[in-house]
Amino acid sequence: MRGIRWIGALVVGCSALTLAVAQSGPAYDPKAEVVLRGKVMAVATVPDWMGKNGVNVTLQTAESTTVHVDTAPAEFLKLLDFAIAPGDDIEVAGVWSEWADTKVFLARTVTKRRVAVLVRDPMGKPVW
């Protein structure tokens, strides 16, 4: 009986920790969503705030502005067979946010050659 209580407490603790980590990420305000278009200058796979290998894109817009875009975990994009490479022209719908004192653009959808992938739901919650 003690083992069952211990397992129950462990499950509750892990659930609370998961919720705390999920809520500690960058904020997503659906009312502030905008669309950016541009050419991919660089793609990097780096650990993100969720501990996954996130695909980060450096996008140069038509106004010559360079934007750091957080898309989704590399494994998720690979599962969808959606590769992003330097030189690609893409369109990204999402919001501006701050994370660790850095301004980032959080993608909700990424479109390349008329193929769009949804990486966050309309409220900004990751779908992976």
Q: What is the pLDDT along the chain (128 residues), one digit of tens a residue?
A: 454 444 443 333 433 333 344 445 788 999 999 999 999 999 999 887 667 899 999 999 999 999 999 999 999 999 999 999 999 999 999 999 987 788 889 999 999 999 999 999 999 999 98
- Domain membership of residue 60 (yes or no) is yes
User: Which has the closest alpha carbon to 48: 80, 20, 24, 81?
Assistant: 24
Closest CA to 126 of 34, 48, 31: 48
CATH number, residue 78: 2.40.50.140
Q: Report the distance separating Cα 38 and Cα 12, nearest Å.
A: 44
Domain of 104, in residue numbers: 28-118
| pTM of the predicted model over 0.85 | no
The per-residue pLDDT for 107 is 97
In a domain, 20, yes or no: no
Whether 62 is covered by a domain: the verdict is yes
End-to-end CA distance of the chain: 36
pLDDT number for residue 49:
67
Classify residue 3: in a domain, yes or no. Answer: no
- The number of folded domains in the chain is 1
pLDDT of residue 102: 83
Answer yes or no: are the C-beta atoms of 61 and 37 closer than 8 Å. yes
